[in-house]
Structures are given as C-alpha cells and as structure tokens.
Amino acid sequence: MNDQVRYEHPRVHVDGEMTVYTCGELKRQLLAHLTEHGDATELELSRVTEIDTAGLQILLTARRHAGELGREMRVANPSGAVLEVLELCRLTDLLAGSVPVPAEAP
C-alpha cells in the first residue's frame, strides 16, 4: 500500500480517501508524522477525494494529538468533500478556521 500521508514543511498532506476502509493505516501514518515533525501545524487536505465519519474522527484525533504535543493543528485547503463534511457537522471553525468558500460554477 502506498503512503497516503507525507510531510512537506510545514504541512502534513493527506491524499485519497479518509474512510472507514482506510482509517487504520491512515491514523497510524498521520500521528507518526505529527509526532516526528514538530513544526507540522497544518493538514493539507486538498487531495482528499472522500471522507466519512471515520475520517472526521481521524481529524479530531490528529487535532487532540497535536494539542498533547503542545501545538495547534488546523486543516488547510480542504477539498470539496472535506469542506462539505466539516460544514455539515459544524466543525469548520474548530478545524479549519476561516476557509474561503469555493466559487460556484456559472
């Protein structure tokens, strides 16, 4: 299995699905990157194609883990799928702060 998570200063990037089918390995990789890279304060989620409640739980776990390490973590550039779930669950302010609303197609 290819790594879904990679570090590029100062962000941890997540690609592909964040679902119940991928969450076990995804959580392990994500928490390892947050622990290993002390300057990682953002999760780049622009390439997340699908997210469900298991993926949302991973985001909340990552935020708590970063807090335990003494830093804040926020979502950067959420994909449409991620933004939709954050808005639906009213977690946009908690996880992403102020996120620009994508322009609607003409």
pLDDT, tens digit (0-9, with 9 covering 90-100), for 21-47: 999 999 999 999 999 998 888 999 999
Q: Is residue 105 part of a domain?
A: no
| Edge-to-edge strand list for the sheet holding 11-18 | 5-8, 11-18, 42-51, 74-76
* Structural domain containing residue 91: 5-95
Q: Please check whether residue 20 lies inside any domain of the structure.
A: yes
pLDDT of residue 2: 58
Residue of 31, 37, 32 lying closest to 8 (CA atoms): 37
CATH code at position 46? 3.30.750.24
Q: Does residue 52 sit within a domain?
A: yes
Tell me which residues of the chain have a pLDDT lower than 50.
1, 100-106
Determine, yes or no, domain membership for 104. Answer: no
d(CA 80, CA 105): 13
pLDDT of residue 86: 94
pLDDT of residue 105: 43
Please report the pLDDT score of residue 98 as a whole number.
52
At residue 36, the 3 state secondary structure works out as helix
Is 106 contained in some domain? no
The answer to whether position 66 is within a domain reads yes
In a domain, 58, yes or no: yes
